[in-house]
Structure 1
């Protein structure tokens, strides 16, 4: 689209996504980021990976985290996060995003969650990096891919907790609000309407919501919109249709918002994951 770049502003930044055709709920990602700063976003999936070189600083669960080379990155579903380089040469990393249902099917366990978003563990980080690289190259060999996928989760198993996550009760307080946002992604949403769902006065709700999720309802709404945009683009919908379905003013608005959160334009993302 005229006037909209197909890549990062800095030629030093690069990111790629990949979906294995045979395994729904799995997304591979690799990137080298130097200049770009990611707006708050969510993958609504487990985000598991390792830092190969450099260091990243990001906000997650209301706190700053520093992930340097040799660190594992272990994010729970629905958790909004940011990301920016902490070193002059940025950071190089690989991730896999696994829907909760996909992880449970692969492991045979339910209720995984991670207490620490960053775990320094050079030996295991090297193993995770190698497995993620092998997965990237095994995408056309389903049997090999699935075996590697199980190995990856077994490698991370003892960092995971199984059972009810800490703070689950607090998160459920606003479950109806999150459902409401999901149902109204293509509409303008007012503070009053969200507060009514929560049964609170508008600004009392705003303060409580911010305290719980560490973002405003508008930031949450935009993160949910962009995650839905990813899903729709992966299913083959046109960027113009996706813009309309996710409440964007137009396709250019979608492109800017999507790139700020995922590092690629909608058109480039769609080409990558649909091959």
Structure 2
């Protein structure tokens, strides 16, 4: 990033895997500043390939280097930058917490303290998702890898502090309702009726099980749809409206908070997919 113009350097790039998968995978290189503070509702599971990948997370400046595993919890604020003048290269997989819950079956999402781990169990379990992007993941391979990842996260995080019992089935009914009515105006009252769970208890359980609030979940799913439309040639205005935002500026505010860059900068960094 050029500090005077606040624009990405010509050498900054991001490649998204175009292979069929339920997990978004990228590889990227940045000369300096990568992302402003932002938060998204997926696990960010990554590996630094070269250089030092620095980021602010939970009140500390962390440094990812080759050999350790980055594990950023859903909806936790973080940024990204080079820790040295040499820049940094990394791969990242964005794992939907619902995929982890399919395996854990209603336990609170595992939290890895500090956002970095040297535990060999996590290193091995994340290998399938941070290998070269041109390596296709067969469906059974991906499902096995998700199981291994969920088990490793659970083991390394340890048992969370005491918490009231969570109603996983009600939260999952609410999540399914959201996915079916994504382009409608959704309220907590509607989710209460769909789930059969009192609204505030549902909201609490939803956060614990899926890592974010129902409202943020809706917003991020609309941003997912916006990104798919923008990548397929829709204008930002048309993609914003089709994804359920009031206008382009409404979408841009949410996009920047969720990804740390503006939609235009995000598109400019992308290289052709594998």
After TM superposition, the score normalised by the length of structure 2 is 0.58
Q: How does 1:165-180 map to 2 (within 5 A)?
A: none
- Alpha-carbon distance in structure 1 between the residues aligned to 2:155 and 2:217: 30
- Alpha-carbon distance in structure 2 between the residues aligned to 1:11 and 1:123: 36
**Farther-moved stretch of structure 1 (232-241 vs 262-271):** 262-271
Superposition deviation, residue 95 in structure 1: 1.8
- Alpha-carbon distance in structure 2 between the residues aligned to 1:165 and 1:96: 30
**CA distances 1:36-64 after superposition (whole Å, capped 9, x unpaired):** 33111112111122222211221222332
| Residue of structure 2 aligned with 1:161, choices 154, 158, 165 | 158
| Residue of structure 2 aligned with 1:67, choices 61, 64, 69 | 64
Aligned residues, how many?
210
**CA distances 1:94-134 after superposition (whole Å, capped 9, x unpaired):** 22222221111144462122241333528567646642244
Superposition deviation, residue 254 in structure 1: 8.8
- Alpha-carbon distance in structure 1 between the residues aligned to 2:59 and 2:84: 22
> Partner of 1:236 in structure 2?
229
After TM superposition, the score normalised by the length of structure 1 is 0.58
Superposition deviation, residue 79 in structure 1: 0.9
| Residue of structure 2 aligned with 1:57, choices 54, 70, 87 | 54
Superposition deviation, residue 148 in structure 1: 2.8
Native 8 Å contact 2:99 2:146 kept in 1: no
> Partner of 1:30 in structure 2?
27
- The reply on whether 1:118 has 2:119 as its aligned counterpart is no
Superposition deviation, residue 83 in structure 1: 1.0
Q: How does 1:1-275 map to 2 (within 5 A)?
A: 9-18=8-17, 21=20, 23=22, 26-108=23-105, 110-121=107-118, 127=124, 130-134=127-131, 136-139=133-136, 141-163=138-160, 227=220, 230-236=223-229, 238=234, 239-244=236-241, 245=245, 247-249=247-249, 260=261, 265-266=266-267
Structure 2, unaligned stretches of length 5 or more? 1-6, 164-183, 186-215
Native 8 Å contact 1:113 1:165 kept in 2: no
3-state secondary structure, aligned to 1:249:
helix
CA RMSD for the aligned pairs? Answer: 4.2
Going from structure 1 to structure 2, the CA distance change for 1:138 and 1:230 (only over 3 Å counts) comes to: farther
**Farther-moved stretch of structure 1 (94-103 vs 76-85):** 94-103
Superposition deviation, residue 89 in structure 1: 1.7
- Alpha-carbon distance in structure 2 between the residues aligned to 1:138 and 1:164: 39
